[in-house]
Structure 1
Amino acid sequence: MQATQGRDSERLLPADAATRDVAKELYARVADAPIISPHGHVPARMLLDDASFENAAELFVTKNHYVTRMLHAAGVDLAELSGADPRRTWGLVAANWHRFAGTASGYWLETELAEVLGIRLPINAGTAHEIYDLVGERLADPAFLPQALFRRFDIRVLATTDDPLDDLGDHDALARLDLGGRVLPTFRPDAYLDPDAVGFGDSVSTLLAATSEPATFAGYLSGLEARREHFIRHGAVSADHGVEEPFTIELAPHEAEALFQEVLAGTADAGQRRAFRGHMLLQMARMSVDDGLVMTVHAGVHRNHSSATYERFGADTGHDIPLPTTFTRGMRPLLERFGLAKDFHLVLFTVDETTFSRELAPLAGFYPSVYVGAPWWFLDAPDAIGRFRSAVTETAGFYRTSGFIDDTRAFLSIPARHDAARRADAAYLARLVTEGRIALATAERIADDLVDAIPREVFKL
């Protein structure tokens, strides 16, 4: 999408002139390369409906917890960011724009305005109404409808995140369109695996009814396997698991059956519920070994940290907070069983930077099944990407990592996020070249592979 045009073409590249020149060369190789997005949250229905985005508030604010949490921290009530009065909502963002200086969310939004919408005005209270109106003018143009943008962004693969009981009809319909790339579903079974999830019992009962399976542990597993098969038939390549704790445990069949009945009845205590989650994460690995779905684990976030906010506004409104996370002991039962299994791919993501060099790089540096997931959520910012590369590369190299993951619901931010990652990786590779640690030709190959060959290999594309 011609990412090199627009704002400062050398942004995010090293300040040192010699290193910057190498980084510019490396970045130029991949600046306009197609986008592979194997994990994200853009809904298939949005692309299928192909309806115009409504306004600047709906586009940039109301569904963007990166933005709303920053404003909430500054004292803005989340109710004022609902978009009920979209011009006022955007005005609150503009009036507080100085607070976003240096943040990834501020960088992305400015990039979206400049390079996707062609709006290069500074964001502040004085320009708020003009920008709002200019955004509206752009969104009224058919060139800015979702499907047109999908083609313009040159997205070759876009993975959604889907409930196991989704019929995936939207994906079928999208597959019949000429979008220039594939939209793939992702199996996300958390609500059916975690006894602490809201409505867990009802979810399991619905799963069993939908798959005509008995209310036994074996029937429950068969029901999940049937739905995974349904996803595979509709193009899925991965199953994603969002867990607070990356803990696994193997239980004997009779133990698993007794525990399943306890959690289904709602009588299991906290320790039993933890054991059930751990056993089911191991079972998900078994299923991935059997059916070939890549297993991704996004671990270490305390969801809905503010009870008052959750009760008032619900989930995904900016109050999820990272936790210290450890993988080595918790994942060992899973890796003892499946870590050496042929063609098993396990991608481990964390928001605890201390684990990159201490645990994830050593795990990926030994187990052929394990890959280190790209910096995720609070770590998907330029400086954090550089720290990730420094922490992981010396032990695991580049080819035991996942390739960039944008993990976004904000469709217009996809090219901005991928462009930032490409710039950050070019900067890191350039430093290795100028320090004499790798040859320029090697850096060129790695830069190419990070945006194409690596994510294709990891996600079996």
Structure 2
Amino acid sequence: MQQLHLDADRALPPDPTIRTLARTVYETTRSLPLVCMHGHVDAALLADDPPFGDPARLLITPDHYVTRLIHAAGVPLEALGVGPGAETDPRAIWRTFCSHWHLFRGTPSRFWLIHELVEVFGVKTVPSAETADQLYEELSERLAAPEFRPRALFDRFGIEVLATTDSPLDDLDAHARLAADGWGTRVIPTFRPDALVHLDRPGWTADVTTLGRRSGIDTSDYDGYLEALRSRRRAFVAAGGLATDHGHQTADTTPVSDATARRIYADALAGRCTAADAAAFAAHMLFQMAAMSCDDGLVMQLHPGVLRNHHDEALRRYGPDRGFDIPIAVEFTQALRPLLQAFGRHPALRLVLFTVDESVYSRELAPLAGVYPSVLLGAPWWFLDSPDGLRRFRSTVTETAGFYNTAGFVDDTRAFASIPARHDLARRIDAGYLAGLVAEHHLDLDEAIETAADLAYNIPKRVYSRS
């Protein structure tokens, strides 16, 4: 029977000369600790440290990379455990996944899944309709063992620090419990205020009221709202937070006057905010968040260019983060100019830019990062954290921005077990790219080895710090 295997040279260049160099570079980074500064793992998973339960709940249902591709083949999301009336038998969900294993050929999800199955769980059975039950039993046996609980895997993965993504409304109780257990510097929160800055979002008024309760500050006017956000940022800093995270549709950072901001905010509370005013306020708040980062030192991460919840009925039925978020073109140069005019050379600001629009890599992002001290390029994100996406990123930004105006690799995943696979892939791709520079005599081998370690570990540690 065919078995899964991980080739030692996977994702390294096919050219034999460059591959030999890439092996040398990769070997120096493969065991470095993982710095995971852009994650979406629930802090409660590590605070509670429960057994994972079953293979479907761990690897299938919560991973929209997996479910969206199977759904694209016509399989109802309910069959994968998603939504009201969803399948509740984990074996049935697992069988559906295994019978569609061929859909993942050529995708990064296949790379990550094979790494998880072989490297993390020690199973080699190839998923298929015929092997589904056997593989389910093998994985269930592993998941029942203490060494496969979340904290044990955290240690085995070599994670040095994991940042979660948290609403300002979160009481950070899970982080407090982790801190009490001595994990306060290992699992840290990230401040994600999106729900509070988009005034036309359903539930915004209720959330602003909750913000007031959580902060102890009256949010019935704009000035109180700003102070409440500052207060919550201070709470995140006290809990070990190092960054903020902003998922806007555009990169517009044009501020409005205080009087206009007060008027728009009051209109929103009264239920009469227009779409134009909501968009203007969201842009204004990105500017305000940069100003706050200059004060409190939180790294500002910006992720524009995605049309969230493309299908209204899917959102209503299944909720957000189910694979229906689709990239759109995004402009950075003019959009970021107001923010950068004000803060681009401020010594305390670090602005990490992510995109899923590759057309802006060489035209806009690399030139911006190559001149503004505050700007750094985030790793390829979401649809681009793939072997070819990672290669294209390096080849299009390095000549203009260099390596040291990037933020290194930070994974972007809710799938806890895939974290080491994502870092391993990035290290292999960087090793191959650097080996090519050595083969072309652009770099010496010792420089390539040093740069690889910087990209994998030293740069993210430096960028995401309070120094």
Answer whether TM exceeds 0.5 for this pair: yes
Matched, 1:146 2:122: no
What amino acid maps onto 1:143 in structure 2? E
Q: For the residues of structure 1 that align with 2:374 and 2:184, how far apart are their CA atoms? A: 31
Matches within 5 A, 1:20-419: 20-82=19-81, 84-178=88-182, 182-210=186-214, 211-419=216-424
Aligned residues: 457
SS in 2 for 1:36: strand
Q: For the residues of structure 1 that align with 2:219 and 2:194, how far apart are their CA atoms? A: 20
Matched, 1:460 2:465: yes
What amino acid maps onto 2:90 in structure 1? P
SS in 2 for 1:54: coil
Corresponding residue number in structure 1 for 2:7: 8
Change (3 A) 1:6 1:29: farther
What amino acid maps onto 1:386 in structure 2? R
Tell me the C-alpha RMSD between the 2 structures. 1.4
Q: For the residues of structure 1 that align with 2:182 and 2:272, how far apart are their CA atoms? A: 51
Q: For the residues of structure 2 that align with 1:266 and 1:133, how far apart are their CA atoms? A: 54
Corresponding residue number in structure 1 for 2:84: none
Q: For the residues of structure 1 that align with 2:9 and 2:180, how far apart are their CA atoms? A: 39
**Do the aligned partners of 1:151 and 1:180 also contact (CA within 8 Å) in 2?**
no
Alignment gaps of 5+ in structure 2? 82-86
Q: How far did 1:265 drift?
A: 1.8
Q: Any idea what the Cα deviations from partners look like across 1:295-338, whole Å, max 9, x if unmatched? A: 00111111111112111111111111001111111111111111
User: Which shows bigger deviation, 204-213 or 125-134?
Assistant: 204-213
Calculate the TM-score normalised by the size of structure 1. Answer: 0.97
User: Which shows bigger deviation, 212-221 or 283-292?
Assistant: 212-221
Q: For the residues of structure 1 that align with 2:61 and 2:55, how far apart are their CA atoms? A: 9
Q: Any idea what the Cα deviations from partners look like across 1:83-111, whole Å, max 9, x if unmatched? A: 51211111111111111001001110111
**Do the aligned partners of 2:6 and 2:114 also contact (CA within 8 Å) in 1?**
no
**Do the aligned partners of 1:201 and 1:265 also contact (CA within 8 Å) in 2?**
no
**Do the aligned partners of 1:147 and 1:179 also contact (CA within 8 Å) in 2?**
no
User: Which shows bigger deviation, 429-438 or 83-92?
Assistant: 83-92
User: Which shows bigger deviation, 161-170 or 276-285?
Assistant: 161-170
What amino acid maps onto 2:68 in structure 1? R
SS in 2 for 1:324: coil
Percent of aligned pairs with the same residue? 50
Q: For the residues of structure 1 that align with 2:185 and 2:414, how far apart are their CA atoms? A: 18
Q: Any idea what the Cα deviations from partners look like across 1:27-57, whole Å, max 9, x if unmatched? A: 1001111100011010110111111111111
Q: For the residues of structure 1 that align with 2:459 and 2:5, how far apart are their CA atoms? A: 28
Q: For the residues of structure 2 that align with 1:214 and 1:185, how far apart are their CA atoms? A: 23
**Do the aligned partners of 1:39 and 1:159 also contact (CA within 8 Å) in 2?**
yes
Runs of 4+ in structure 1 deviating by more than 6 angstroms, as ranges, are none
What amino acid maps onto 1:90 in structure 2? W
Q: For the residues of structure 2 that align with 1:336 and 1:202, how far apart are their CA atoms? A: 34
SS in 1 for 2:285: helix
